[in-house]
Chain A
Amino acid sequence: MSTAAGSGSALTVVVIYPDLLGTYGDGGNGLVLARRAKWRGLDVSLVQAPSDRPVPHGDIYCIGGGEDGPQVRAASTLIADGTLTRAVENGAVVLGVCAGFQLLGREFPDAADRPHEGLGLLDVTTRKGTDLRAVGELVATVGPDSPRGPDGSALPPLTGFENHGGVTTIGPRAFPLARVVTGVGNGGGDGTEGAWTGRVIGTYLHGPVLARNVALADLLLGWALGSRGERRPLIRLEDEEENALRTERLAGAGTVKLSARLLHHQRPRR
């Protein structure tokens, strides 16, 4: 394959620890990034990185949602490994979802509500909520402090499915990813969903989030190519099926939310 990206080696998308953080289908984010790069003629490789091996070099890292125990193990293993933190210092792009979002922050709780150290790549802190678990469709719109693409373009509304018990507070060195229209999001009362700083993004949205929001996928690809010195804009893709899904989800979020709220009452927040 031709190498459209500048540095000669393939653009590398790494899915971190699918064996520990692969519970919620978020591995699909890596696939979406890799396919969208490939369809544009870029030389790309998609690497699944299991937790018993060193984290490989990558341009974009995807971290998914998972269960409490594996989340604690993933965080301590990533801290001991050190590669991800160094990669971010060198301009790598990171997308963390749900448990993967929480462990990018300063601190997150385990099943027994004991705090654990996160990677500190995002200035956020997560604690257990006292309320019910947040389960359901979420729609959020971008604000003035949301991330923008290399060409300055703003993201369209975000759609996804949230399923979490944590409440995340954004510190002074991070910004909200988006503002909740329907759903719970970070849950701290400020109406925010997700957080970002530099080239690191965290969100509670499953779906997977990049399949539901291909503009966010292209933003991450644009950042990664920018880090490699590639300045040409991305070729536009025909996203007919993605757009049809978005239209349906954005229109239907209200009704699904009602059903999800009924579910809330059957299940205590953990």
Chain B
Amino acid sequence: MTSLYPAATGRLPFRPSVAVKVASGINRLSRLLGRGSGTVIGGRAGLAVDPMLLAVLAKDRNVALVSGTNGKTTTTGMLVAALSEGDSARVATNTTGANMPAGHVAALIGTRPAGTVVLEVDEAYLGRLIEDTHPQVVVLLNLTRDQLDRISEVRMLVDRWRSVLGRLDPVGHGGSRTVVVANADDPMVVWAASTAPEVRWVGAGQVWHDDAVGCPACGGRIVFEASGSWHCDQCGFGRPDRFAWLEGDVLVLADGRRLPVVIGLPGQFNRANAAMVAVAAPELVGTHGQPPVSIATAVERLAKLHEVAGRFSTVQRKGRDIRLLLAKNPAGWSAIFDLLDESGDATSPVVLSINARVADGFDTSWLWDVPFERLIGRSVVATGERCRDLAVRLRYAEVDHRVVSDVLEAVDLAIGPAGRLSVATTSTPVEFLGNYTAFAHLRSRL
């Protein structure tokens, strides 16, 4: 990654070329000084030199954007895998989860002029990214409450998405064609995406309904049917006709094809992400004259993906497997609890780690929307910078727990004294669940 910038500055006009040199130089300096990969700080400097840098770097490239409240990083990793034949270096992406414009600049500098780009986009920046990068595909996963002190309430965000997507060029009018791949089971996503000229609606499922009861169109009440469909009880707003949908672990296409979704990542929510990827991947025009990948090929390539940015990975510590899981908000935690029920031992110990930094949101009230009651019966250790908020929440959920502020001590407490435990007990993994910076902190300490 050190010899990037000579290639990166080729054929750029003066100002963006200076911006790229500044960004690359700062990134190299940051790495030399051991201050991390430096992607965001370099990108920020590049944008300061040339605010239009993102647009310049994205020009003439095949861009896909992935946004939504939950599953962005994982789905971005999946889409890269689906578009790559063994060699993922052919696709530019922001794998570090740096999902705001400075991170996007860093991702684009690294691989210019490689053709295909898949970017994870923070919900609040989707409009700017669409305007700057003219994407071929925009994947919209779901919208639920998250970081209410930073991002804003769901309906404010939905209205912003809706106006941005409504300004996309209509197909066949000379502009760049953008296909939106949107979750038909989330009324908030549907309301936002229904202004777009071309949408592939995917029935990916949406378990969390608590932010979508009020109809975004008329203020009426959204009724969720047992079949998974939904409609407003007052206006005509309802689930659109789907291009494809999930039936358990089978992806059904409206044309009658049925594809088993056998993927390397666990959980129903990851099969949902896979369904979105399978529909999105074929919409990207292949680079180097290659034909676009088929839906079936896209799904097949996901079988070999077992972790994304450390999420869902398993590490060994003191002879015990520790599974690393990330969840940031009530919908995400509910999905992870489903995963524990589905794949784990019902008695496997759990370490919960909560921070409340900028990237997490300063307000921890959301912990009270998470159904921690589902952990009753497990051994639970609470940790993280906000372990005291977590401890009070667990007390009122009547979940037995211990509180240890140091994350490694917390993990070791969950591992237990290995010598005294039977083989059967030590074979169950310890499940580590952290929110954004708490997860990153544990990985840096392991």
Contact = CB atoms under 8 A, between A and B. Distances in A.
Interface of A: 18-20, 22-28, 31-32, 35, 51-52, 67-70, 72-73, 111, 135-137, 161, 163, 206-208, 211, 241-242, 244-245, 248, 256, 259-260, 263, 266-267, 270
Contacts of A248: 388
Contacts of A270: 156
B230 interface: no
Given A256-B362, A260-B149, A270-B156, A211 B368 contact: yes
Given A35-B396, A73-B214, A211-B393, A23 B219 contact: no
Interface in B361-385: 362-369
Contacts of B219: 69, 72-73
B391 interface: yes
The 5 closest A-B pairs by CB, nearest first: A28-B368, A25-B365, A25-B368, A19-B213, A245-B388
B358 interface: yes
B198 interface: no
Contacts, number: 106
B362 A259 contact: yes
Contacts of A111: 156
Given A25-B368, A28-B365, A35-B398, A67 B153 contact: yes
24 contacts: A24-B148, A25-B365, A25-B367, A26-B368, A28-B365, A28-B369, A28-B393, A31-B396, A67-B154, A67-B156, A69-B155, A69-B219, A70-B213, A73-B214, A161-B363, A161-B364, A241-B388, A241-B395, A242-B392, A245-B389, A260-B149, A263-B150, A263-B362, A270-B156
Contacts of A28: 365, 368-369, 393, 396
Contacts of A51: 213, 221
B388 A211 contact: no
Contacts of B364: 161, 207
Contact of A241 (B149, B363, B391): B391
B365 A161 contact: yes
B211 interface: yes
B392 A241 contact: yes
A256 B357 CA distance: 9
A110 to B, nearest CB: 10
B149 to A, nearest CB: 5
B159 to A, nearest CB: 9
Given A20-B214, A27-B369, A161-B362, A244 B388 contact: yes
